[in-house]
Structure 1
Amino acid sequence: MLGDIAGFSGAVRVDRAGVTEFAAAYGLADRAADVPNTVGTRFGIASATKGLTALAVMSLVEDKTLALDTPARELLGADLPLIGADVTVEHLLAHRSGIGDYFDEDTAGDITDFVLPVPVHELADTEDYLKVLGGHPAKFPAGERFAYCNSGYVVLALIASRAAGLPFHDLVTRRVCEPAGMTGTGFPRSDELPAGAARGYLHASGSDRTNVFHLPVRGSGDGGAYSTVADFGAFWTALFAGRIVPGARVLEMLRPRSDATEGPRRYGLGFWLHGTGKAVTLEGYDAGVSFRSVHDPDTALTWTVVSNTSDGAWPVARRLAELLAGG
């Protein structure tokens, strides 16, 4: 299907109406040990994690543990005092909270930079992120406009964990991964990756190196989960079948809240939406990670591309989008 994609390291899968039409893997999961990627390899998915976070939160809304209009302050207590009383769960989900961002992608610099203000090993549990979330003034009043915000999704992880009385990683496993049948998805530490997981690579200072010093040692609500292309085939099926949250909640999440500031896309609650059609996207980009998964409910077409390099997924994703257009 894809022809020559020299240099690509990662995996690709295409499904239509529950039937896998194409699945292949390329390159190496561990370059030092010469371990190849496979279609079952677990890759980092970066900000695609936000979709899982949003669903975990929405499952708590469904059982009335939270509400979309719950103020963030209600569960933050004395923590993060710069987050205003006007910020709600829905604002955070829709990237319309206006809160300051600990990792502002507009000003973060090059993907090869070391951008975190604390040693990455200090960010292992969601409560640990309090040390980087604080001290960032609000950019605008809640609800005023769209501004993509990583901090917002870590705050959501804190709120959800505290409301449910369960560690965030366990909450995602129980509320999202298990009902979706995503058996290869979770939040391993980057310094003790399990067998079958790909190391992320970036090119800097004339050499290739892993991303272990660039990202939190364990992800939270904004990113850092690992998954497989098969799990995302299962994910989209389960989502639209109402197995993670009921169909009415899915429709609520996919109702556009904002036109995106770049390109012909809109945003709902945790998901990127096509500018005019019904296709839904999750994507992630970080040091040593690039990921895109798209599902069109009208055609029952799903495709996922993931790479264990910073930019590797994008040329393949563009080619797939062209090949599958109208398909």
Structure 2
Amino acid sequence: MKLKNVDLETILADKAKEIDFSGVVHVENRTGMIHASAHGFSNRSESIPNTINTRFGIASGCKLFTAIGICQLVENGSIAFHSKLSNLLDHSFPHFGGEVTVHHLLTHSSGIPDYFDEEVMDDFEELWVKNPMYHMKRLEDFLPLFQDQQMKFNPGEKFHYNNAGYIVLGLIIEKVAGTPFSDYVEEYIFKPARMQDSGYFSLDCLPAKTALGYIDKEDGSWKTNSYSIPIKGGADGGAYVTAGDMAKLWQSLMNGELVNKEMLTKMTTPWIQTDNGYYGYGIWIEKAEDKIVKYHVMGYDPGVSFASGYYADSEMIVVIPSNKERGPHKLMYLLEDHI
């Protein structure tokens, strides 16, 4: 570990204070822990501080879990990456192209319509006016938001980030494995990765040591995100993890404990170019001079922001969950500059 003549603890603490960060910063490498610190409150009303063991919602950060689940099913021969959506599910998708495959869904290149298109909509809360968030408990509950709409482009044509595609992948896992999506992830991903404190918890019965998500308004007031996100997370986002558990996920994945080495290579292949890098299966990929330097995931919801990366050369793992809408990436870039 090389620091540019500055103490890491100090620069992180100063930056966290400057941006009023609320969450955890967790950094480790192959030799062990480099840094772990907690900032802000998990419950502002009661002035309960975040700790390094606090659980945080990670929004889309858990698309990686869905991708791992699909890759496990491919590995055991239940499905294939070229399997067509039209052959896998019994749900009605009257306007979807018959050529949409599992690979297209994993790489956000399917062209199917999204229930929340981030290029068209900028307020996630708008979705719950006609479809109350407290009804969104199962993956099927999202289908009426997109299943009857037209395709956006031909499968494989381009990358276009798509939440609905991961809802569909979750439905495939449920159909093939014969178990609810969250049960599958907890049994076949969280358990083998020893992620004992993580899960898909319902907003109306969160377990102890779980941070509430906070939406800050311009006038200085705030509210929790209790009515701003689906009541229970699913295949496109919304799991709760501790920073330590997410580090265990990276370790288990990269050590070949969740999928075999051949499948891991497929997951971490830069299949498609994005606006600022590449995308594999459920994972963003950064290159420098044609060499992969970083695998990472991120998540944003009302009251939630998340950044986590695995750095190929050093085997360094960074996990930064937050129960505010911004902050993690500023700290991640700071770490990258100094380590």
Task: Give the shorter-chain TM-score range.
Answer: over 0.9
1:3 aligns to what?
13
Distance 2:51 2:96 in 1: 43
1:278 aligns to what?
293
State the 1:220 CA deviation. Answer: 1.1
Identity of aligned residues (%): 36
2:93 aligns to what?
80
Q: Are residue 297 (structure 1) and residue 297 (structure 2) matched?
A: no
Could you report, residue by residue, the CA deviation over 1:74-94 in whole angstroms, capped at 9, with x for unpaired residues?
122242322221111111001
Within the candidate set 118, 127, 130, 1:105 is matched to 118
Q: Alpha carbons of 1:213 and 1:269: their partners in 2 closer, same or farther (altered >3 Å)? A: same
2:56 aligns to what?
43
What TM-score do the two structures reach when normalised by structure 1? Answer: 0.95
> What SS does the corresponding residue of 2:293 show, helix, strand or coil?
coil
What TM-score do the two structures reach when normalised by structure 2? Answer: 0.91
1:221 aligns to what?
235
Within the candidate set 49, 52, 75, 2:65 is matched to 52
State the 1:126 CA deviation. Answer: 1.5
Distance 1:148 1:275 in 2: 19
Within the candidate set 262, 279, 289, 1:248 is matched to 262
Q: Alpha carbons of 1:82 and 1:175: their partners in 2 closer, same or farther (altered >3 Å)? A: farther
Contact 1:108–1:115 (8 Å) recurs in 2: no
> What SS does the corresponding residue of 1:299 show, helix, strand or coil?
coil
4+ residue runs of structure 1 moved beyond 4 angstroms? none
Q: Return the letter of the residue paired with 1:69.
A: H
1:231-242 map, 5 Å: 231-242=245-256
Structure 1 unpaired stretches of 5+:
none
State the 1:166 CA deviation. Answer: 0.6
1:203 aligns to what?
216
1:120-269 map, 5 Å: 120-204=133-217, 206=219, 207-261=221-275, 263=276, 265-269=277-281
> What SS does the corresponding residue of 2:191 show, helix, strand or coil?
helix
> What SS does the corresponding residue of 1:234 show, helix, strand or coil?
helix
Distance 2:222 2:246 in 1: 28
> What SS does the corresponding residue of 1:22 show, helix, strand or coil?
strand
State the 1:33 CA deviation. Answer: 1.7
Q: Return the letter of the residue paired with 2:239.
A: A
1:9-24 map, 5 Å: 9-24=22-37
> What SS does the corresponding residue of 1:275 show, helix, strand or coil?
strand
Structure 2 unpaired stretches of 5+:
1-8
Give the root-mean-square deviation of aligned CA atoms.
1.4
Distance 1:323 1:108 in 2: 36
2:5 aligns to what?
none
